[in-house]
Amino acid sequence: MGDRAFSVSRCAGKASVITLRAMVSAKERPGTPLSYAASLRTLAVLTGVGLSGCGTSSEPILIGLAGPFSQQTAQSMLLAAQLAASEINQQGGVNGRQLQLVVQDDSGMGDVAVQVARSFYDDPDIVAVVGHMNSRATLAAARVYNGGDKPVVEISPSASSPEVSDAGPYTFRVCPDDEVHGTQLADWAYRHLATRRVAVLYENDAYGRGLRATFSREFAGLGGQIVTQDPFSTVLPSFEPYLTRIRLRGGADAILFAGALEEAERMLSTINVLRLDQTILSGDGVGGIETSDVDAEGTFVSLAYVHDQPGTRNEAFTSAYQRATGGQLPDHRGAGAYDIVYLLSHVIEEVGTNRQRVRDYLSGIGTETDMFSGVTGSIGFDANGDIVGRNVVIAVVQDNRLVSAAQR
Amino acid sequence: MKPLVALNTLRTRIVLGEAALVAGLVVVAAIGIGALRTVRNTVTQEVESLTAISTQSSTLITALFEQMRAAEQYLADGSLEAHNAFRSGGNAAHAIQGRLQALPDLSESDRLVVTQMEALQAEAEVLYNYAHAQLDLGRRADALAGARVAREHASELLRLVGLLSTSQSTRAEATARSLEQAATDREMLVWTVLAASILIAAAIAVALLQSVERPLARLAAAARRFGDGDLRPVALGDMPAELADLGDAMDRLGGSLRVLVNEVSEESERMATAAQDLSAISEQLAATATDVSTAMDEVSGGAHQQVSGLAESAEAAESLYAAAKDAGMVSGRAAERGADIHRLADTYGSDIGAAGNALIELGNLVQQTANQVEQLDKLSEPIYEFIDLIKQISSQTNLLALNAAIEAARAGERGIGFSVVAEEVRQLADTSAQAADQVSGTITTIRDQVTAMADTMAAGKAQARGVGSVSQGAAEALRQIVRVVQEIETESKRVAGQAEKNLTAVDRIKLALRSASEAAQSHASSSEEVAAAAEQQGASTQEMAAQAAALNRAADHLRALVKGFRA
């Protein structure tokens, strides 16, 4: 079951006909934990059908949903996207047709993302793709989505690498890029936290290097000093030498962590062991750290979205999300995915399911048509498919929750 | 309505053949140009793609080597220079990997290799950086241990670099092969189309040549056949319109010649048959004329003898006048002459009968002969008169001899000798009368035959008339001879009756004899005329035969000429 996704191809009266859609997925990569994601996916699709009921007899509209759903960090994205689809289908679907998410796990890896993208690309019923989640997967998959004669739109909720801007005309995102994150973080660190010496620990990938580069440039520009810049990845035996060497370099007021949640937890553990007192700044890659087992209190995180940010749409979303998940709170990926599903349903309502028309309409939002109002804020796109006029929110971990740092 | 394009003319075929050839060459040229253009475009595209990829690959490899070298150097000397080189090399490698990933022509497998290289480089970078941190912290052993792990990643990275290079060269080779294959395929296509064009052109040329040569050969054969005299119709078959016109003309010529030859042939056959018939008739005519001539010669000879016999009779009558006993001798001799005439007439009759038979056969066609035969018929009437005359003479001679015997008995013993002579004369007269009767019967037979022959002849055609008149002439001559003999007989009787008493009677006898002689001479000349006519007939018949022969030869020649034609 791991490489298949259920889809509802027909719905007549109360009887549901369920067919199996064969999909290429991460099965080929040994060691990838799939069972959890697969069960989740199956559950989600069936749940979506159950919620929507049988309002139409026509074929459902297929939307791809790609992310590392085997990982905890992607759960909000998956659940929020399914929540949005359920809501839309409950309200009668899109132009009388059910919206159906075809979920694929890309493991957050470039090569798997390429395979997932290929399967979406080759399925002519796939109108657009929600994803991928991280920059690496989004960039790798973008080469597939933007190639050939049947390009398909991908809209990432959280791929913040600057490279995504140039990934192609069919690649969009609803989050500010790492430059905004880096710039805002540097500004926050220098101005609000009055730190002058910062040690940078960055994940040695596109995201980490991008965030490192913009932060360092901005912080140095403000007059601060970058004490060290050390790359890490899963192969790093220990963060200890890097953290110890900070002292050797004269110490730092803060540490910028440019990486993902798992390494952040490892680093925080080491910091706790070493009893270091530096302020921790991080980008949105560490989303979920607030509920982590490690002590992350006081960690500043730049986010495209915080659940407690103002807005009636957001309040309704968070309430619905909490109801659907038993009290959990959505992260920026979930909120972004939620907005993307609604955005796509809006676009399909306007121009139908033609891939190119969907892309053309998307690229005109905010310029040719009005900004789209989402839970994360107003959404419009520039020529590169980047969201326009969106600043990040600096949140802080407080009592195992992320709250807006400014509201603290 | 003539079709717009007549396919059966040489002109159209040649034009169409040329058009097909030109079209084939145009297609070949188009395919060749298209193939060259395709190959050139493909080559350009592939070379550009390969150039871009290999350029990025080689700069990536350079950057990676530089970074690894700097990492090792930092482990050795811990210099800032090495640290910066390590960092800049890493940055450069990351940038290049990004550009490589952005290349649209990078194959999926190469892309995966580049992605793996990125990951490996990131790991090696992290591990070297970790080792450098340990070194900075003075933990040399940990640093070297970390560096060993880093080197493992570095060597794996270098293996991937090699893989990428191999992939590039493999791709270059594959490209070259596919280009070669494409070139070969298109070359094959060009050659195939070219060969097809040549074949089509050759086929068209052969068909064209055949469409000219075969009809020409047939026409030539037909012409040769005509030349050899075979004028039978020739099946010329299908052929181009121009040659078909020629063939039709030849066919018409042959037809006309055939009709002509047939007519000439039939005419020559008819002519030859007529000539042969004419020739045969001429030969028979000639033979008949010869026979008539011979017969007439003999009749003439017989008449002369009769004349001399009559002269002798006259002398005997004179002797009778002088001496009675001579009279019996003369009468006897006259009787002999009558017998001779009888015999001759018999002979002539058979000859003339033979001639008549021949004439019956020929009479249908030879009018001249028929005429002469009619003449012969007329001439035979005087012979009866002659015979009657002889009969009268012998009767009178018999009476004369009886009177002489009575006178001898009166004379007593002196008349005994005379009575013997008288008896002899009487017997001579009887014999003479019998002979005359025989002659008369024979002549009648002859006359009947000649009449029958003349009737047949008269019923025949105009050509036989000449011969018929000749025959009539001969018959007339015979009749005159007979009449004269009869007159002689009559006169003999009177001579015999009055010989003793009256000299005048003897004179009359003499006169009668002279008259008979003259008549005989006249008969002889008449016979000679017949003979001459017969000879003339023979000559003209021979001339006719000669002309018939010439005609026959001409007919033969004509027939030989015509026989050369197979109509």
The pLDDT tens digits of the residues spanning B166-194 come to: 887 887 888 788 878 877 887 788 788 78
> Is 0.80 topped by the overall pTM?
no
- pLDDT beyond 90 at A81: yes
Mean per-residue pLDDT, B368-379: 58
Q: How far is A110 from chain B (nearest CA, A)?
A: 7
Q: Which residue numbers of B have CB closer than 8 Å to A's CBs?
A: 87, 94, 98, 101-102, 104, 108, 111-112, 115-116, 118, 122-123, 125-127, 129-130, 133-134, 136-137, 139, 142, 146, 149, 153
- pLDDT tens for A352-407 read 999 999 999 999 999 999 999 999 999 999 999 999 988 888 999 988 888 888 75
* pLDDT at residue number A317: 94
* pLDDT at residue number B403: 79
* pLDDT at residue number B268: 62
Burial of A88 (0-12, 13-18, 19+ CB in 10 A): buried
Which has the minimum average pLDDT: A187-191, B468-472, B507-511? B468-472
* pLDDT at residue number B509: 57
Best mutation target among A29, A118, A134, A204 (most B Cβ atoms within 10 Å) is: A204
> With an 8 Å Cβ cutoff, are A244 and B137 in contact?
yes
Residue A260: band (very low, low, confident or very high) from pLDDT cuts 50, 70, 90: confident
Q: Considering only CA atoms, which of A388, A111, A41, A100 is closest in space to residue B101?
A: A111
> With an 8 Å Cβ cutoff, are A236 and B130 in contact?
yes
Above pLDDT 90, what percent of chain B? 7
Name the one residue in this structure whose structure tokens are 């989303």: A287
Above pLDDT 90, what percent of chain A? 55
Please state, in angstroms and rounded to a whole number, the distance separating the CA atoms of residues A259 and A133: 14
Best mutation target among A106, A200, A235, A249 (most B Cβ atoms within 10 Å) is: A235
Name the one residue in this structure whose structure tokens are 């004669």: A149
Q: How far is A195 from chain B (nearest CA, A)?
A: 24
* pLDDT at residue number A345: 94
Full 3-state SS string of B450-465? HHHHHHHHHHCCCCEH
Q: How far is B122 from chain A (nearest CA, A)?
A: 6
Mean per-residue pLDDT, B302-324: 60
Helix (H) or strand (E) holding B171: helix B140-227
Name the one residue in this structure whose structure tokens are 């078959």: B237
CB A78 within 8 A of CB A115: no
Cβ-Cβ contacts under 8 Å between A and B: the total is 63
CB B435 within 8 A of CB B342: yes
Contacts of B125 in chain A (CB under 8 A): 204, 231
- pLDDT beyond 60 at B91: yes
Q: Considering only CA atoms, which of B205, B273, B195, B238 is closest in space to residue B24?
A: B195
How far are the Cα atoms of B251, B332, B489 from residue A308, in angstroms, in the given order?
116, 204, 199
- pLDDT beyond 80 at B388: no
Chain A window 141-170: which residues touch B at a Cβ cutoff of 8 Å?
Answer: 143, 147, 163, 166
Helix (H) or strand (E) holding A150: none
Give every CB contact of residue B175 below 8 A, 6+ residues apart in sequence.
Answer: B46, B50
* pLDDT at residue number B26: 86
- pLDDT beyond 60 at B467: no
Strand partners, A203: A232
Residue B99: band (very low, low, confident or very high) from pLDDT cuts 50, 70, 90: confident
Mean per-residue pLDDT, A95-101: 92
* pLDDT at residue number B258: 76
> With an 8 Å Cβ cutoff, are B122 and A231 in contact?
yes
Nearest to B126 among A139, A229, A231 (CB): A231
Please state, in angstroms and rounded to a whole number, the distance separating the CA atoms of residues A27 and A13: 36
- pLDDT beyond 70 at B1: no
Strand partners, A154: A129, A171
> With an 8 Å Cβ cutoff, are A242 and B133 in contact?
yes
Helix (H) or strand (E) holding B23: helix B10-77
Per the model's pLDDT, the better-predicted residue between B372 and B50 turns out to be B50
* pLDDT at residue number A54: 42
Q: Taking all residues of chain A, what is their mean pLDDT, rounded to a whole number?
A: 84
Q: Considering only CA atoms, which of B141, B168, B133, B206 is closest in space to residue B56?
A: B168
- pLDDT beyond 50 at A316: yes
How far are the Cα atoms of A9, A20, A404 from residue A192, in angstroms, in the given order?
54, 54, 14
Please state, in angstroms and rounded to a whole number, the distance separating the CA atoms of residues B295 and B349: 9
Q: Quick check: helix, strand or coil at residue A366?
A: coil
CB B366 within 8 A of CB B281: yes
* pLDDT at residue number B365: 47
Q: Which two tokens stand for residue B349?
A: 């009759």
Residue of A nearest to B136 (CA): A245
* pLDDT at residue number A405: 85
* pLDDT at residue number B190: 78
Contacts of B123 in chain A (CB under 8 A): 204, 233, 235
Mean per-residue pLDDT, B330-342: 53
* pLDDT at residue number A243: 93
- pLDDT beyond 70 at B81: yes
Q: Considering only CA atoms, which of B422, B423, B429 is closest in space to residue B394?
A: B429
- Please give the ipTM for the structure prediction: 0.70
Residue of A nearest to B131 (CA): A241
Q: How far is B118 from chain A (nearest CA, A)?
A: 8
